[in-house]
Amino acid sequence: MSEFLRNLNELTREAVFEESARDTDTVTGTSYNGNVGGCNDSGNQNENWQSLFYDPLAANNVTEDHRSRSHPCNILTSLLHAECEYDCAYCRVCKRKKPASVTPKEMADYFTKNWREGRYGGIFLSSGISGDVDVTMAEIIETGERIRNAGFNGYMHLKILPGANRSDIDAAAAIATRVSLNVETTSRAHMSEIANLKDYTQDIMKRLDWLGADAPTKHTTQFIVGAADENDREIISCMSHLYKKTLPARIYFSAFAGQKNTPMEFHPNTPEWRTNRLYQTDFLLRKYRFKADELCTVLDENEFLMNADPKILLAEDMPHIDIRTADYQQLLRIPGIGPVSAKKICKMRAQKLRGRARKRDIGKGSAGVADTESRVSIAGNSGRAADNTDWSNIYDIIPARSLPYIRLREGGIQSRIGDYM
């Protein structure tokens, strides 16, 4: 076996990209249904890695991209260098005694060959910092440029290294489908607990500001949840700040897991349910326009999320919502109703009111009908409706778990939709 392939297998073994290439909005094991983006490398140090040396599509270096559900493709995830000048206490790459490396040409040639043979449909590339950050960043960009010049126009995710200069950030963003720089934790003080050589303000936050200015919504970031013992109030506040100022496409969460032969080997691991609840909170903040302050009202006495759906916890204290009069944002507050259902309810409601207006205005002439339709459209968007309107087909799209939080008629809360159809 060639030295290059041996190095490559070591590099893909170390490439634990929790966010992977899957830009999904959904969460495993929760009411929001779907999959959290993740890497196929479990980080299990007891695996028999020798078996991976002879399998170019082994599970440690391939993730599935779900950007197109009908045409999924395999994503190569790898490092250029499995060594690093930084001292992140949770990272096993920093402590490797026998680092592996490949050149940009070797990586580009390998990927291009396998892409043409149909084995890979995308690449997710990062690197430990071997020597100088500018040199390593230039190698990442060179690899991407070589792959693009070979004719590949598919998914390419390039990591921005902490401390990268602005011109390199712009160059990477110009050729990549997605770029990312991990925020890791919430503050300079917390960063000092897990990495002495990283300057949180300059190396991380300043670079994220540049990404927000130069590549808004084209980049992502990630927290290593629990590594620095930050609480969830701090994470939620930091998330809110990042979305407002640095404009990431989305934020990922990786549950800390201690790695052998690292300073944090025996630090308590973070339970997966905590990251799942953070994904739900992120979804409410990013897609449903909830405010960070109100999300923090469901934290426990230690400022951590409880292992319960935060949307349901918030709904328990809100007044019951009348779906006949609620606007779009109010509908989003109801557990079980998301953007698709809320928009559908608003649309169906407006259609019903237009139909009712047409019947009422028969004989008034086209001008009268048009004027009435305009008024009804505005009323429909604000939720005003007549009591005798038939709402049965709207009720049909409301899931049973939404019933405890809604009012379907004046004077009470309905327990069974069929009673009023």
Whether the CB-CB separation of 395 and 387 falls below 8 Å is answered with: no
Among residues 262, 385, 285, which one has the least CA distance to residue 327? 385
Q: What is the pLDDT of residue 391?
A: 65
Question: How confident is the model at residue 28, as a pLDDT?
Answer: 32
Alpha helices in 41-165 (DSSP H): 104-116, 133-149
- Please report where in the chains the tokens 């799942």 appear, as a residue: 276
- 3-state secondary structure (DSSP) of residue 228: coil
Distance of alpha carbon 215 from alpha carbon 170, whole angstroms: 8
Distance CA 289, CA 332 (A): 9
* pLDDT by position in tens, the chain (length 421): 577 777 777 677 656 554 443 443 333 333 332 222 222 222 333 333 222 222 333 333 444 443 434 456 788 889 899 888 888 888 877 666 677 889 999 999 999 999 999 888 899 999 988 889 999 999 999 999 999 999 999 999 999 999 999 999 999 999 999 999 999 999 999 999 999 999 999 999 999 999 999 999 999 999 999 999 999 999 999 999 999 999 999 999 999 999 888 899 999 999 999 999 999 999 999 999 999 999 999 999 999 999 999 999 999 989 999 888 899 999 999 999 999 889 998 988 887 767 666 666 665 555 554 454 444 443 344 444 445 556 667 777 888 889 899 886 554 444 444 443 3
- In this prediction, residue 37 carries a pLDDT of 28
Q: Which residues pair with 122 in a beta bridge?
A: 75, 155
In this structure, the strands spanning 321-322 and 406-407 are parallel
Per the CB < 8 A criterion, the answer to whether 337 and 402 are in contact is: yes
The span from the CA of 331 to the CA of 109, in Å, is 52
267 close to 256: Cβ distance less than 8 angstroms:
yes
Instruction: Retrieve residue 161's tokens.
Output: 């290294």
Tell me phi and psi for residue 129, to 5 degrees.
-85, 105
CA-CA-CA-CA torsion for 247, 248, 251, 252, nearest 10 degrees? -160
Q: Beta-carbon neighbour count of residue 27 at 10 Å? A: 23
> Is the C-alpha dihedral spanning 350, 352, 356, 362 positive or negative?
positive
Q: What are phi and psi of 39, to 5 degrees?
A: -100, 150
Give counts: helices (H), strands (E), the chain.
14, 9
Rounded to two decimals, what is the model's pTM?
Answer: 0.79
CA pair distance 6, 11, nearest whole angstrom: 9
Sorted by where each starts, the structural domains of the chain and their CATH numbers stand as: 3-313 (3.20.20.70), 321-420 (no CATH)
Are residues 81 and 136 in contact, defined by beta-carbon separation less than 8 angstroms? yes
| Contacts of 103 by beta carbon, 8 Å cutoff, 6+ apart | 80, 139
CA distances, 157 to each of 172, 222, 365 (Å): 9, 14, 59
